[in-house]
Chains A and B, each alone.
Chain A
Amino acid sequence: MQTKLKSTFKNTFKTLYMIAPMLLAVIGLIGLFKTFITPEMLHTLFNGSVLHDMLVGIGLGGVSVGQPFLSYIIGGELLDEGASFYGVTAFILAFVTLGVVQLPMEFSIFGFRFAFLRNLLSLLFSFFLSWAISFTLGVLS
Protein backbone atom coordinates (compact mmCIF):
# COMPACT_ATOMS: atom_id res chain seq x y z
CA MET A 1 0.00 0.00 0.00
CA GLN A 2 2.79 2.40 0.94
CA THR A 3 4.58 1.87 -2.36
CA LYS A 4 1.34 2.43 -4.21
CA LEU A 5 0.70 5.62 -2.27
CA LYS A 6 4.21 6.81 -3.01
CA SER A 7 3.95 6.17 -6.72
CA THR A 8 0.50 7.77 -6.81
CA PHE A 9 1.79 10.97 -5.24
CA LYS A 10 4.75 10.91 -7.59
CA ASN A 11 2.40 10.64 -10.56
CA THR A 12 0.17 13.39 -9.20
CA PHE A 13 3.09 15.77 -8.86
CA LYS A 14 4.27 14.81 -12.32
CA THR A 15 0.84 15.77 -13.68
CA LEU A 16 0.95 19.06 -11.79
CA TYR A 17 4.44 19.76 -13.18
CA MET A 18 3.24 18.98 -16.70
CA ILE A 19 0.22 21.26 -16.61
CA ALA A 20 1.86 24.10 -14.63
CA PRO A 21 3.12 26.17 -17.62
CA MET A 22 -0.24 25.94 -19.42
CA LEU A 23 -2.11 26.74 -16.23
CA LEU A 24 0.04 29.82 -15.62
CA ALA A 25 -0.42 30.90 -19.24
CA VAL A 26 -4.21 30.62 -18.98
CA ILE A 27 -4.21 32.54 -15.68
CA GLY A 28 -2.03 35.24 -17.25
CA LEU A 29 -4.47 35.57 -20.14
CA ILE A 30 -7.43 35.77 -17.77
CA GLY A 31 -5.74 38.74 -16.05
CA LEU A 32 -5.29 40.50 -19.39
CA PHE A 33 -8.91 39.90 -20.42
CA LYS A 34 -10.29 41.12 -17.12
CA THR A 35 -8.30 44.32 -17.35
CA PHE A 36 -8.56 45.21 -21.01
CA ILE A 37 -12.13 44.10 -21.81
CA THR A 38 -14.76 45.98 -19.83
CA PRO A 39 -18.50 45.22 -19.49
CA GLU A 40 -19.21 48.56 -21.24
CA MET A 41 -17.42 47.28 -24.34
CA LEU A 42 -19.68 44.22 -24.30
CA HIS A 43 -22.87 46.34 -23.99
CA THR A 44 -22.28 48.19 -27.22
CA LEU A 45 -22.47 44.99 -29.31
CA PHE A 46 -26.09 43.91 -28.68
CA ASN A 47 -28.96 45.37 -30.74
CA GLY A 48 -32.10 43.45 -29.67
CA SER A 49 -32.62 41.20 -32.71
CA VAL A 50 -32.82 37.50 -31.76
CA LEU A 51 -30.27 35.91 -34.09
CA HIS A 52 -27.79 38.80 -33.88
CA ASP A 53 -27.96 38.85 -30.08
CA MET A 54 -27.58 35.07 -29.87
CA LEU A 55 -24.50 35.12 -32.09
CA VAL A 56 -22.98 38.04 -30.21
CA GLY A 57 -23.90 36.43 -26.87
CA ILE A 58 -22.15 33.18 -27.75
CA GLY A 59 -19.12 34.95 -29.19
CA LEU A 60 -18.71 37.21 -26.18
CA GLY A 61 -19.47 34.46 -23.67
CA GLY A 62 -16.92 32.21 -25.34
CA VAL A 63 -14.08 34.72 -25.15
CA SER A 64 -14.97 36.21 -21.76
CA VAL A 65 -13.38 34.84 -18.63
CA GLY A 66 -14.03 35.06 -14.93
CA GLN A 67 -16.25 33.78 -12.18
CA PRO A 68 -19.71 32.60 -13.35
CA PHE A 69 -21.47 35.27 -11.26
CA LEU A 70 -19.89 37.90 -13.53
CA SER A 71 -21.92 36.52 -16.44
CA TYR A 72 -25.12 36.93 -14.37
CA ILE A 73 -24.29 40.53 -13.48
CA ILE A 74 -23.28 41.46 -17.02
CA GLY A 75 -26.28 39.51 -18.38
CA GLY A 76 -28.64 41.38 -16.04
CA GLU A 77 -27.25 44.71 -17.17
CA LEU A 78 -27.51 43.71 -20.82
CA LEU A 79 -31.18 42.81 -20.34
CA ASP A 80 -31.84 46.20 -18.75
CA GLU A 81 -30.20 47.88 -21.69
CA GLY A 82 -32.43 46.19 -24.24
CA ALA A 83 -30.64 42.98 -25.24
CA SER A 84 -33.04 40.07 -25.83
CA PHE A 85 -33.38 37.10 -23.45
CA TYR A 86 -32.08 34.93 -26.30
CA GLY A 87 -28.81 36.85 -26.44
CA VAL A 88 -28.35 37.07 -22.68
CA THR A 89 -29.05 33.36 -22.14
CA ALA A 90 -26.64 32.49 -24.94
CA PHE A 91 -24.03 34.72 -23.29
CA ILE A 92 -24.44 33.05 -19.87
CA LEU A 93 -24.32 29.54 -21.35
CA ALA A 94 -21.28 30.25 -23.52
CA PHE A 95 -19.55 32.01 -20.60
CA VAL A 96 -19.66 28.85 -18.46
CA THR A 97 -19.35 26.13 -21.11
CA LEU A 98 -16.94 27.58 -23.68
CA GLY A 99 -13.50 29.04 -23.08
CA VAL A 100 -11.36 30.28 -25.94
CA VAL A 101 -8.60 31.21 -23.48
CA GLN A 102 -8.36 27.70 -22.07
CA LEU A 103 -8.67 25.93 -25.43
CA PRO A 104 -4.93 25.20 -25.83
CA MET A 105 -4.91 23.60 -22.39
CA GLU A 106 -7.97 21.53 -23.21
CA PHE A 107 -6.44 20.29 -26.46
CA SER A 108 -3.11 19.44 -24.83
CA ILE A 109 -4.68 17.47 -21.98
CA PHE A 110 -7.56 15.69 -23.76
CA GLY A 111 -6.22 15.40 -27.29
CA PHE A 112 -7.76 16.86 -30.44
CA ARG A 113 -10.79 14.63 -30.98
CA PHE A 114 -12.31 14.90 -27.52
CA ALA A 115 -11.60 18.62 -27.08
CA PHE A 116 -12.95 19.43 -30.54
CA LEU A 117 -16.12 17.39 -30.03
CA ARG A 118 -16.74 18.87 -26.59
CA ASN A 119 -16.38 22.45 -27.77
CA LEU A 120 -18.42 21.89 -30.92
CA LEU A 121 -21.26 20.37 -28.88
CA SER A 122 -21.08 23.17 -26.31
CA LEU A 123 -21.23 25.73 -29.10
CA LEU A 124 -24.25 24.09 -30.77
CA PHE A 125 -26.03 23.58 -27.45
CA SER A 126 -25.52 27.25 -26.53
CA PHE A 127 -27.73 27.97 -29.55
CA PHE A 128 -30.29 25.23 -28.94
CA LEU A 129 -30.61 25.77 -25.21
CA SER A 130 -30.73 29.57 -25.26
CA TRP A 131 -33.51 29.32 -27.85
CA ALA A 132 -35.33 26.58 -25.87
CA ILE A 133 -34.99 28.45 -22.56
CA SER A 134 -36.22 31.77 -23.99
CA PHE A 135 -39.04 30.05 -25.88
CA THR A 136 -40.16 28.14 -22.76
CA LEU A 137 -40.07 31.32 -20.72
CA GLY A 138 -42.21 33.02 -23.36
CA VAL A 139 -44.77 30.21 -23.23
CA LEU A 140 -44.79 30.17 -19.41
CA SER A 141 -45.36 33.90 -19.15
Chain B
Amino acid sequence: MKNNKSGLIMLGIVIVLYVVLFSVKPDKVFDALGESLGVLKMIIPILLIVFFLMALLNTFIDEKAISKHLGEQSGLKGWLLSLVGGILSHGPGYVWYPLIQNLREQGARDGLVIAFIYARAIKIPWLPLMVTYFGMTFTLVYTFYVVLGAYLQGMIVNMFDNKEKNL
Protein backbone atom coordinates (compact mmCIF):
# COMPACT_ATOMS: atom_id res chain seq x y z
CA MET B 1 0.00 0.00 0.00
CA LYS B 2 1.32 3.42 -0.91
CA ASN B 3 1.73 6.30 1.52
CA ASN B 4 -1.24 8.46 2.36
CA LYS B 5 0.00 11.57 0.56
CA SER B 6 -2.57 11.23 -2.24
CA GLY B 7 -5.25 10.80 0.43
CA LEU B 8 -4.23 14.03 2.12
CA ILE B 9 -4.25 15.89 -1.20
CA MET B 10 -7.70 14.50 -2.02
CA LEU B 11 -8.99 15.43 1.44
CA GLY B 12 -7.58 18.94 0.95
CA ILE B 13 -9.42 19.27 -2.38
CA VAL B 14 -12.70 18.14 -0.81
CA ILE B 15 -12.30 20.61 2.07
CA VAL B 16 -11.64 23.44 -0.41
CA LEU B 17 -14.74 22.34 -2.36
CA TYR B 18 -16.83 22.52 0.81
CA VAL B 19 -15.47 25.98 1.66
CA VAL B 20 -16.15 27.30 -1.86
CA LEU B 21 -19.67 25.83 -1.96
CA PHE B 22 -20.32 27.17 1.53
CA SER B 23 -19.84 30.72 0.26
CA VAL B 24 -22.44 30.07 -2.48
CA LYS B 25 -25.00 27.81 -0.79
CA PRO B 26 -24.32 27.48 2.93
CA ASP B 27 -27.59 25.59 3.68
CA LYS B 28 -26.88 22.89 1.13
CA VAL B 29 -23.33 22.46 2.39
CA PHE B 30 -24.68 21.72 5.87
CA ASP B 31 -27.03 19.17 4.28
CA ALA B 32 -24.04 17.62 2.50
CA LEU B 33 -22.11 17.46 5.78
CA GLY B 34 -25.12 15.77 7.39
CA GLU B 35 -25.24 13.24 4.53
CA SER B 36 -21.51 12.56 4.90
CA LEU B 37 -21.89 12.01 8.63
CA GLY B 38 -24.73 9.59 7.90
CA VAL B 39 -22.47 7.65 5.51
CA LEU B 40 -19.66 7.64 8.08
CA LYS B 41 -22.00 6.27 10.75
CA MET B 42 -23.21 3.59 8.36
CA ILE B 43 -19.76 2.40 7.33
CA ILE B 44 -18.06 2.42 10.76
CA PRO B 45 -19.50 -0.97 11.85
CA ILE B 46 -18.67 -2.49 8.44
CA LEU B 47 -15.19 -0.98 8.60
CA LEU B 48 -14.67 -2.52 12.03
CA ILE B 49 -15.75 -5.93 10.73
CA VAL B 50 -13.44 -5.62 7.72
CA PHE B 51 -10.45 -4.67 9.88
CA PHE B 52 -11.24 -7.41 12.37
CA LEU B 53 -11.38 -9.92 9.50
CA MET B 54 -8.11 -8.53 8.20
CA ALA B 55 -6.43 -8.97 11.59
CA LEU B 56 -7.81 -12.50 11.91
CA LEU B 57 -6.69 -13.37 8.42
CA ASN B 58 -3.17 -12.10 9.07
CA THR B 59 -2.89 -13.93 12.37
CA PHE B 60 -4.32 -17.32 11.52
CA ILE B 61 -4.00 -17.70 7.76
CA ASP B 62 -0.58 -17.56 6.20
CA GLU B 63 0.48 -16.78 2.67
CA LYS B 64 0.70 -20.46 1.83
CA ALA B 65 -2.98 -20.99 2.66
CA ILE B 66 -4.04 -17.92 0.69
CA SER B 67 -2.12 -18.91 -2.38
CA LYS B 68 -3.55 -22.41 -2.04
CA HIS B 69 -7.18 -21.23 -1.84
CA LEU B 70 -6.99 -18.09 -4.00
CA GLY B 71 -3.73 -18.44 -5.89
CA GLU B 72 -2.58 -19.97 -9.17
CA GLN B 73 -3.57 -23.53 -8.29
CA SER B 74 -6.85 -22.79 -6.52
CA GLY B 75 -9.01 -24.08 -9.40
CA LEU B 76 -12.77 -24.34 -9.06
CA LYS B 77 -12.64 -23.80 -5.29
CA GLY B 78 -10.96 -20.43 -5.84
CA TRP B 79 -13.69 -19.33 -8.26
CA LEU B 80 -16.45 -20.45 -5.92
CA LEU B 81 -14.82 -18.72 -2.95
CA SER B 82 -14.42 -15.41 -4.75
CA LEU B 83 -17.85 -15.38 -6.44
CA VAL B 84 -19.79 -16.44 -3.34
CA GLY B 85 -17.64 -14.16 -1.15
CA GLY B 86 -18.37 -11.21 -3.45
CA ILE B 87 -22.12 -11.88 -3.40
CA LEU B 88 -22.18 -12.18 0.40
CA SER B 89 -19.91 -9.24 1.26
CA HIS B 90 -21.67 -6.19 2.68
CA GLY B 91 -21.19 -2.46 2.54
CA PRO B 92 -19.55 -0.09 0.05
CA GLY B 93 -16.73 -1.49 -2.07
CA TYR B 94 -14.10 0.97 -0.91
CA VAL B 95 -14.38 -0.34 2.65
CA TRP B 96 -13.14 -3.71 1.36
CA TYR B 97 -10.19 -2.38 -0.64
CA PRO B 98 -7.53 -2.63 2.11
CA LEU B 99 -8.49 -6.24 2.86
CA ILE B 100 -8.52 -7.10 -0.85
CA GLN B 101 -5.10 -5.51 -1.36
CA ASN B 102 -3.84 -7.49 1.63
CA LEU B 103 -4.98 -10.72 -0.03
CA ARG B 104 -3.32 -9.71 -3.29
CA GLU B 105 -0.04 -9.02 -1.51
CA GLN B 106 -0.23 -12.48 0.00
CA GLY B 107 -0.67 -14.26 -3.30
CA ALA B 108 -4.35 -14.08 -4.24
CA ARG B 109 -4.78 -14.11 -8.00
CA ASP B 110 -5.87 -10.84 -9.64
CA GLY B 111 -8.50 -12.61 -11.73
CA LEU B 112 -10.20 -13.99 -8.63
CA VAL B 113 -10.02 -10.60 -6.93
CA ILE B 114 -11.64 -8.92 -9.96
CA ALA B 115 -14.37 -11.59 -9.96
CA PHE B 116 -14.94 -10.99 -6.23
CA ILE B 117 -15.32 -7.24 -6.74
CA TYR B 118 -17.70 -7.62 -9.69
CA ALA B 119 -19.85 -10.22 -7.96
CA ARG B 120 -20.54 -7.53 -5.36
CA ALA B 121 -23.01 -6.07 -7.90
CA ILE B 122 -25.44 -8.64 -6.50
CA LYS B 123 -26.76 -7.31 -3.22
CA ILE B 124 -28.70 -10.04 -1.49
CA PRO B 125 -30.40 -7.80 1.11
CA TRP B 126 -31.74 -5.58 -1.69
CA LEU B 127 -32.95 -8.34 -4.02
CA PRO B 128 -36.57 -8.19 -2.75
CA LEU B 129 -36.61 -4.49 -3.64
CA MET B 130 -35.26 -5.28 -7.10
CA VAL B 131 -38.04 -7.87 -7.54
CA THR B 132 -40.61 -5.25 -6.50
CA TYR B 133 -39.38 -2.69 -9.01
CA PHE B 134 -38.38 -4.87 -11.96
CA GLY B 135 -39.97 -8.30 -11.41
CA MET B 136 -38.65 -11.77 -10.66
CA THR B 137 -37.56 -12.53 -14.23
CA PHE B 138 -35.38 -9.40 -14.43
CA THR B 139 -33.81 -10.15 -11.04
CA LEU B 140 -32.96 -13.74 -11.99
CA VAL B 141 -31.58 -12.75 -15.41
CA TYR B 142 -29.59 -9.88 -13.85
CA THR B 143 -28.12 -12.16 -11.16
CA PHE B 144 -27.18 -14.82 -13.70
CA TYR B 145 -25.43 -12.35 -16.01
CA VAL B 146 -23.57 -10.59 -13.19
CA VAL B 147 -22.11 -13.90 -11.98
CA LEU B 148 -21.24 -14.83 -15.57
CA GLY B 149 -19.71 -11.36 -16.11
CA ALA B 150 -17.65 -11.63 -12.90
CA TYR B 151 -16.32 -15.03 -14.02
CA LEU B 152 -15.50 -13.81 -17.54
CA GLN B 153 -13.69 -10.72 -16.23
CA GLY B 154 -11.65 -12.89 -13.89
CA MET B 155 -10.76 -15.19 -16.79
CA ILE B 156 -9.71 -12.23 -18.95
CA VAL B 157 -7.43 -10.87 -16.20
CA ASN B 158 -5.90 -14.30 -15.59
CA MET B 159 -5.28 -14.63 -19.32
CA PHE B 160 -3.44 -11.28 -19.32
CA ASP B 161 -1.38 -12.35 -16.33
CA ASN B 162 -0.46 -15.67 -17.92
CA LYS B 163 0.58 -13.94 -21.12
CA GLU B 164 2.77 -11.50 -19.21
CA LYS B 165 4.43 -14.32 -17.32
CA ASN B 166 5.20 -16.14 -20.54
CA LEU B 167 6.83 -13.12 -22.15
- A interface vs B, CB < 8 Å? 1, 4-5, 8-9, 11-12, 15-32, 34-36, 68-69, 72-73, 75-76, 79, 89, 92-93, 96-97, 99, 102, 104-111, 114, 117-118, 121-122, 125, 128-129, 132-133, 136-137, 140-141
Contact = CB atoms under 8 A, between A and B. Distances in A.
Contacts, number: 186
A30 B36 contact: yes
B97 A31 contact: no
B135 to A, nearest CB: 9
A70 B88 CA distance: 19
Contacts of B138: 133, 137
Interface of B: 1-4, 6-8, 10-11, 13-15, 17-18, 21, 28-29, 31-37, 39-40, 43, 47, 51, 54-55, 58-59, 92-94, 97-98, 100-102, 104, 110, 113-114, 117-118, 120-121, 123, 126, 129-130, 133-134, 137-138, 141-142, 145-146, 149, 152-153, 156-157, 160
5 contacts: A15-B1, A28-B36, A32-B18, A133-B138, A140-B137
B3 A133 contact: no
The 8 closest A-B pairs by CB, nearest first: A31-B36, A22-B7, A21-B7, A76-B133, A31-B35, A31-B32, A25-B10, A35-B32
